[in-house]
Amino acid sequence: MARRNAKPIRVGVFGAWRGAGFAQLALNVGMTPVAVCDQWESRAQQVAERLELTAYSDFDKFLEHEMDAVVLCNYFHEHAPYAIRCLEAGLHVMSETAACKTLGEGVELARAAERSKAVYFFAENYPFFATNQEMRRLYQAGEIGECRFAEGEYVHPVTAAESNRLAPGLSHWRNWLPVTYYCTHALAPLMYVTDFMPLAVNAQAIPRTPEQLAEPQVRRNDISCYMMLRMDSEAVFGLNGGCNGLSGHGNWYRFQGTRGLMETSRVGHMGQVRVVHEPFNLPEGGSRERIYTPEFPVAKELAARAGHGGGDFFVMYHFAQAIRKREQPWFNVYRGLAMSAAGIQAWRSALDNGTAYPIPDFSDEAARALYEKDQWSPYPEDAGPGQPPVSVKGKIEPTRTQRAAARKAWKEMGWTGEG
């Protein structure tokens, strides 16, 4: 997919777990992986040996390596400080999942991105499923008119054993994550299809049942949530998602417009798009209902082999494209921050019984300056007066039995950190 004779883009990955996959994908888009960094030294070394990279456990040393771009695959809530350092060093940044831990961090990141000449790409991969790329094409062509309501769903239940393996250490971010925070897999495809931006959010959380609280795992958060967002078009988006643990693993997206409906299929082949028109708004020569399986717009074979429904390939593809074109991508710092802020403000709403909270416009200095000192955070390193719990039920402490089960799982997977 790289242009012939184009200069390779040297890229380093920070976070060996997810980073290993992105280092491999970099080769398919004209990038050259050169370094990997992870505090888990043995994992970084394994990836380095397999892909012939230089391994680091110290980010300062990693940042000194000769490279053009960095992919941040470190912990969910720790991206902004590292992104800022990379941008200040003139390095292009692709940042996974949450763009910031707090609204104050978001303000700092927006300002750093504006000062830098480097590209910032928010690596949300779910918009790049073949179905979601097709629905963007349909929507931009006017297939359903103007969207007035949309729904996004991301449901990902795991067993207690899987929960422990995914979150090694009592302070691991997954064990302290409010259920609204991981909303981007549900929200990003809706924004990508329509180009709408969120203005405000209200939310309700669903706490764990007593039986779920007794499972042999150490997460302190709730099981799910529902979020409603008012968009800048006056449309309303509803989200059943926050990396939630309800039954029925899967993703689903629906758009209801002034002239029709489109959605991903819930039955049969999950990679299908369904488009429906009422008889009175049926396009000339069109069908009342059609269901079909779309293809990726480019690089079909490469995308089909990549993770997350092809999304992992496309975030690297568009990151490389933005660097080569010397322009900020669609998933720029402002959209990344808006999605991340939606999760933070939704948690304020859930703790306030569903009261609506504004989502700052991080492209507007006057609007974002109101939040520059906002360090409201649920994570243990920020504990103190005024900081929120991670459950609407308040503080939840794992039992001795639950801790023992988790520590056993961490030992079996080779985790040697705190626990």
Q: For 64-76, how does the pLDDT look when each residue is reduced to its tens digit (9 = 90+)?
A: 999 999 999 999 9
Find how far residue 369's CA is from the centre of its chain: 25
DSSP 404: H
What is the tens place of the pLDDT at every residue in 114-137?
999 999 999 999 999 999 999 999
Residue-range domain boundaries for the chain: 9-126, 127-299+334-382
Q: Mean pLDDT, to the nearest integer, of 366-394? A: 97
Tokens of 190: 């809706």
The count of C-alpha atoms lying within 13 angstroms of the C-alpha of 320, restricted to the half-sphere facing its C-beta, is 26
Q: Do domains 9-126 and 127-299+334-382 have the same CATH topology?
A: no
Q: Which of 118-127, 263-272, 296-305, 404-413 has the lowest mean pLDDT?
A: 263-272
Cβ-based neighbours of 4, under 8 Å, separated by 6 or more: none
Pairing type for strands 224-231 and 273-276 reads unpaired
Tokens of 257: 């417009």
Would you state the CATH architecture of domain 9-126? 3-Layer(aba) Sandwich (3.40)
Which of 131, 138, 137, 336 has its CA nearest to residue 252? 131
Instruction: Please state the φ and ψ torsions of residue 287, each to the nearest 5 degrees.
Output: -105, 145
- Rounded to whole angstroms, the Cα distance separating 30 from 193 reads 27
By CB neighbour count within 10 A (0-12 exposed, 13-18 middle, 19+ buried), where does 141 fall?
exposed
The predicted pLDDT at position 1 comes to 47
Q: Which residue has the tokens 């990279």?
A: 53
Instruction: Please state the φ and ψ torsions of residue 331, each to the nearest 5 degrees.
Output: -80, 70
Contact by Cβ (8 Å): 13, 23: yes
**In this structure, which topology does domain 127-299+334-382 adopt according to CATH?**
Dihydrodipicolinate Reductase; domain 2 (3.30.360)
Instruction: Please state the φ and ψ torsions of residue 169, each to the nearest 5 degrees.
Output: 110, 135
- Rounded to whole angstroms, the Cα distance separating 96 from 72 reads 6
Whole-model pTM over 0.85: yes
Q: Which of 113-117, 173-177, 305-309, 351-355 has the lowest mean pLDDT?
A: 305-309
